Amino acid sequence: MPTVYVTRPLPPPGTDPLREAGLDVRQHARDRPPTGEELLDGVRGADALLCLLTERVDAAVLAAAPRLRIVANLAVGHDNIDIPAATARGVVVTNTPDVLTEATADLTFALLLAAARRLVEGDRLVRSGRWDGWSPTQLLGQPVAGRTLGIVGMGAIGTAVARRARGFGMSVLYHNRNPAPAAAEVAARLVTLDELLRRADVVTLHAPLTDDTRHLIDAAALGRMRPTTVLVNTARGPLVDEAALVAALAAGRLAGAGLDVFEREPAIAEGLAALDNVVLAPHVGSATTQSRGDMVRLACRNVTEVLAGRAPVTPLNPQVLEGRDR
């Protein structure tokens, strides 16, 4: 019976689809990432690995698992997996695109509105008992409706954010390596990163983390934004130089930020938590019961398909499948 190593307890349906397919499931029982040693122990002898973005699946992990046929990541992002190393070993890698698009776009808009309208500052004020009533000068934020949104990375999530922005009467600029097919549908205009940073009232990040996008938003990029601009990041923390962001927010060179992801999760940059003009969320973009359930079902399906000798639904290195007996 093929064995699947699952690196964490999962939300419903959990590992039921794997067990129903007759697979032997070994699961890390604690709700924290396995240590490096635990991960190596877990994959040894496994035919499939169902892992999270918190696990670094590198050449050493792959080498410890000579029987491995698939690494199924429970995330759309896959910067935690060395895909060339997996491909070299003939291991299929899959992710969970699409099923989390709307949930992540919703959270992006929640952070955008909360940061622009200083919602968390207001919540703290009311709770503190220090609020002494309506004031015409209190907690003045940035307008959203009718303003310009700049989307960096116009994939499925960026496009879903653009659709929401149209509902707010926003003009949409985007920056992408290639023109996005869906851009016309949301009346989004392709511009350089420089123009986007200079013109957008809200900049939102939806690019994958690669060597090219690490610190895409560094001190120089932050310097191109205006003091009224709001930055939102629900993609990957290392897209932003977090120390430079703290400096820009502290100096009032940026109006605010809404962050769901951080450079060194779960740690955050020194000084960030003390700032009033930032809204912080614990990487919960896809955290709805619907979205997480769909992610689990898709990751399990990818595992069961590959172990049954069929193609997975969402392969990242389809070249591994070529020439394989199906």
Q: Give catalytic residues, as residue numbers.
A: 236, 265, 283
Which of 39, 50, 76, 205 touches ligand DGY by CB under 6 A? Answer: 76
Q: What's the min distance (Å) between Cβ of 162 and ligand DGY? A: 19
Is residue 100 at the binding interface for ligand DGY, with CB under 6 A as the rule? yes
Q: What's the min distance (Å) between Cβ of 22 and ligand DGY? A: 28
Q: b/e string for 198-235 if b means 16 or more Cβ within 10 A?
A: ebbbbbbbbbebeeebeebbeeebbebbeeebbbbbbb
Report the C-alpha gap between 304 and 306 in whole angstroms: 6
Task: HSE, CB side, 13 Å, CA atoms: give it for residue 206.
Answer: 29
Helix (H) or strand (E) holding 104: helix 101-116
What is the phi/psi pair of residue 139, to 5°?
50, 50
Q: Which stretch binds ligand DGY (CB under 6 A): 75-83, 183-191, 217-225, 248-256?
A: 75-83
Which of 77, 122, 271, 318 touches ligand DGY by CB under 6 A? Answer: 77
Is residue 105 at the binding interface for ligand DGY, with CB under 6 A as the rule? no
Q: What's the min distance (Å) between Cβ of 274 and ligand DGY? A: 26
What tokens does 40 get? 């190596």
Contact residues for 299 (Cβ-Cβ < 8 A; gap 6+):
50, 72, 73, 74, 94, 96
Residue among 304, 203, 210 at smallest CA distance from 256: 203
Give the count of residues interacting with ligand DGY (CB under 6 A): 7
Q: What's the min distance (Å) between Cβ of 182 and ligand DGY? A: 19
Q: What's the min distance (Å) between Cβ of 124 and ligand DGY? A: 27
Is residue 80 at the binding interface for ligand DGY, with CB under 6 A as the rule? no
What tokens does 154 get? 């116009």
Is residue 53 at the binding interface for ligand DGY, with CB under 6 A as the rule? yes
Residue among 108, 112, 66 at smallest CA distance from 86: 66
Is residue 285 at the binding interface for ligand DGY, with CB under 6 A as the rule? yes
Contact residues for 24 (Cβ-Cβ < 8 A; gap 6+):
1, 2, 3, 4
Q: Which stretch binds ligand DGY (CB under 6 A): 1-9, 55-63, 74-82, 222-230?
A: 74-82
Q: Any idea what the Cα angle at residue 235 is, between residues 231 and 239, rounded to 5°? A: 70
Q: Which stretch binds ligand DGY (CB under 6 A): 36-44, 73-81, 225-233, 240-248?
A: 73-81
Is residue 286 at the binding interface for ligand DGY, with CB under 6 A as the rule? yes
Instruction: Output 17 or 77, the one with its CB closest to ligand DGY.
Output: 77
User: At which residue do the structure tokens 């190393």 appear?
Assistant: 85
Contact residues for 28 (Cβ-Cβ < 8 A; gap 6+):
5, 6, 7, 8, 9, 34, 38, 42
Which of 75, 172, 202, 246 touches ligand DGY by CB under 6 A? Answer: 75
Q: Which stretch binds ligand DGY (CB under 6 A): 72-80, 155-163, 196-204, 216-224?
A: 72-80
Q: Which stretch binds ligand DGY (CB under 6 A): 70-78, 166-174, 184-192, 312-320?
A: 70-78
Report the C-alpha gap between 326 and 324 in whole angstroms: 6
Is residue 176 at the binding interface for ligand DGY, with CB under 6 A as the rule? no
Residue among 63, 1, 5 at smallest CA distance from 299: 5
Q: What's the min distance (Å) between Cβ of 283 and ligand DGY? A: 6
Instruction: Output 3 or 7, the one with its CB closest to ligand DGY.
Output: 7
Q: What's the min distance (Å) between Cβ of 260 and ligand DGY? A: 8
Residues forming the site for ligand DGY (CB under 6 A): 53, 75-77, 100, 285-286
